[in-house]
Structure 1
Amino acid sequence: MPLSRGEQIARALSDRIVDGDIAPGERLPSEAKLSAEFGASRAAVREALQRLKTLGYVRTRTGSGSYALTPPAEQGDDTWLTARSDAERGELVVFRTAIETEAAASAARHRSEADLVEMRAALEAIDAARRPSDSVDADFRFHRTIARAAGNRYLAAALDRIGARAIVVPASRIAHGDRLPAATASVRAEHSAIADAIERSDPLAAQAAMRAHLVASERRRTVDGIEPDRREQHRYS
């Protein structure tokens, strides 16, 4: 069955996001510009954006536009890691937690001084980031360094296979633009707790800190994903 015009536009835009032509956190062109670019109606463009939102490629801010998120996998042997729904994203979080908590514990046992230097450099890069795309890159660098410090090629390979899509781009990172959101302080504290435990060579503390961070990260994603007028209600549910 031929693709609808909206499906064609969605596929073209998702390719740009996966290829990195549209970076995580970057605003997509306006509906008017997309309509002109693709020679399509506004309705077709809106259909495309809704499809991208459903598949987890973009987040829409009322009155501001649509912003790219870290894309799911689409190609090669990594298709089994593609998360196309909230249920599948939840499963990916469980998988990632299993991998990364063990990686953190192992890193606490096996890390080298060079690993510690790289971890601290990644934390500094996270603090220095002002664009969502830079924040995502630095965040993944931090987690990847821990996996490599674990001294287990399979743990490192598993995180590499998940890739930067493991890093959540919550609405707060998009909503505040160049201003650091309050949530950044929590993320910084969580990362620091992981790094400190690894530096102290404390596997149990490193494992617990990583688990706490991933649980908090998932909560930020799910709460941020709720429309503002429902967020207060969600807090008390």
Structure 2
Amino acid sequence: MTPPAPQTSPFPRKSRNLAQALVDELTMRVRSGALAPGAKLPTEAEIMAEFGVSRTVVREAISRLQASGLMQTRHGVGTFVNGPGTSAPFHITADQLETLHDVIAMLELRIGLEAEAAALAALRRTDDNLRAMREAQAAFWQAVQAGEDAVHADFQFHLEIARATQNLHFSAMLGALGSTVIPRARIARQPVADIQPEIYLERVHAEHESIIAAIACHDAESARTAMRIHLGNSRERRRQMSEESAMPGAGKA
């Protein structure tokens, strides 16, 4: 069935955080009783149509609701409202990623988690999983070319890889981390280790393409290596920034 045409979004179109606006609306419905414990959330297409937002926004919002413990997704069944007292076992807040040291530590965690996720995704991904990765990658590149915030599309790309493992613990863990763990969320308009933002984002895009190519070919070792290189490069750039900021006279005119 063809989903109904999207309505005009009730959220500000220039908002950089449509996902959070959707989170707030769905949370309000849960608290008001409009969505009772155990209730199944409408499909992605239905939410897109009601709120006039993209699939990427819907998936980001659902990931945040999962991370908060308010909802849970059952693979192949749908997303459901949790009962009272349910909470997320692990959650990262923005104030836990205030410094370069914090970001580097998070990248170390992500390397271990996502390198293995990429390998499993290469072995287990479906055509739908691969399509979702490519859609997120296309959204990322479109945002980069338009000079817009590409953080959420970048996070969605990584989340789709976690989902392709067919192991809910990977996607739940990455969902709990949230898009805050994408380093550019805080330094998107600054050079990264003397690399201008435009060039840096082009490199990220190319690294993503290498990961997709390996997963598409069911090459687990290449996928693991490509993800490790991708996140390792990001970590090394931040290390260089940290070392430069610690040098005598750093930051002085």
Report if TM-score (shorter chain) is over 0.5.
Answer: yes
| In structure 2, C-alpha distance between the alignment counterparts of 1:86 and 1:227, rounded to whole Å | 11
Deviation at 1:209, TM superposition (A): 0.4
Aligned to 1:122: 136
Q: Residue 106 in 1 paired to residue 123 in 2?
A: no
Is the CA contact (8 Å cut-off) linking 1:107 and 1:198 kept in structure 2? yes
User: Which amino acid is the alignment partner of residue 183 of structure 2?
Assistant: V
Q: How does 1:207-218 map to 2 (within 5 A)?
A: 207-218=224-235
Taking the TM superposition and a 5 Å limit, the aligned residue runs for 1:54-65 are none
Structure 2 counterparts to residues 1-237 of structure 1, below 5 A: 77=88, 81-82=92-93, 83-84=96-97, 85-130=99-144, 134-169=149-184, 173-175=188-190, 181-224=198-241
Q: Which residue of 1 aligns with 2:83?
A: none
Amino acid of the structure 2 residue aligned with 1:147: A
- Relative to structure 1, the CA distance from residue 117 to residue 154 in structure 2 (aligned partners, 3 Å threshold; closer, same or farther) is same
Amino acid at match of 1:128: Q
Classify 1:217/1:121 alpha carbon distance in 2 versus 1 (closer, same or farther; 3 Å). Answer: same
- Greater share of residues in helix: 1
Deviation of residue 93 (structure 1)?
1.7
- When residues 113 and 22 of structure 1 are mapped into structure 2, their CA distance, relative to the original with a 3 A threshold, is closer
Larger mean Cα displacement after TM superposition, 161-170 or 143-152: 161-170
Gaps of 5+ in 1: 1-20, 24-72
Alpha-carbon distance change, 78 to 134 in structure 1, aligned in 2, over 3 angstroms: farther
- Residue type matched to 1:185 in 2? E
1:169–1:221 CA contact under 8 A, matched in 2 = no
1:138-170 per-position Cα deviation (integer Å, ceiling 9, x unaligned): 100100000000110101111001110121117
Q: Give the 3-state SS of the residue equivalent to 1:174 in structure 2.
A: coil
1: CA distance, partners of 2:217 / 2:182: 25
Partners of 2:190 and 2:197 within 8 A in 1: no
Whole-angstrom CA distance in 2 between matches of 1:181 and 1:144: 23
> For the aligned residues, what is the CA RMSD?
3.4
Instruction: Give the superposition deviation at 1:171.
Output: 7.8
Deviations 1:2-48 (A, max 9, x none): xxxxxxxxxxxxxxxxxxx876xxxxxxxxxxxxxxxxxxxxxxxxx
In structure 2, do the counterparts of structure 1 residues 91 and 182 end up closer, same or farther at CA, with 3 Å as the change threshold?
A: closer
TM-score, with structure 1 as normaliser = 0.57
Q: Distance in 2 between matches of 1:172 and 1:99?
A: 23
**Cα distance change on mapping 1:181 and 1:89 into 2, 3 Å:** closer
| Contact residue 103 and residue 183 of structure 2 kept, 8 A | no
The Cα shift of 1:186 comes to 1.2
CA distance 1:225–1:134, change in 2 (3 Å): same
Mark the CA change 1:180 to 1:98 in structure 2 (over 3 Å): closer, same or farther: closer
Q: CA deviation at 1:88?
A: 3.9
Give the 3-state SS of the residue equivalent to 2:184 in structure 1: coil
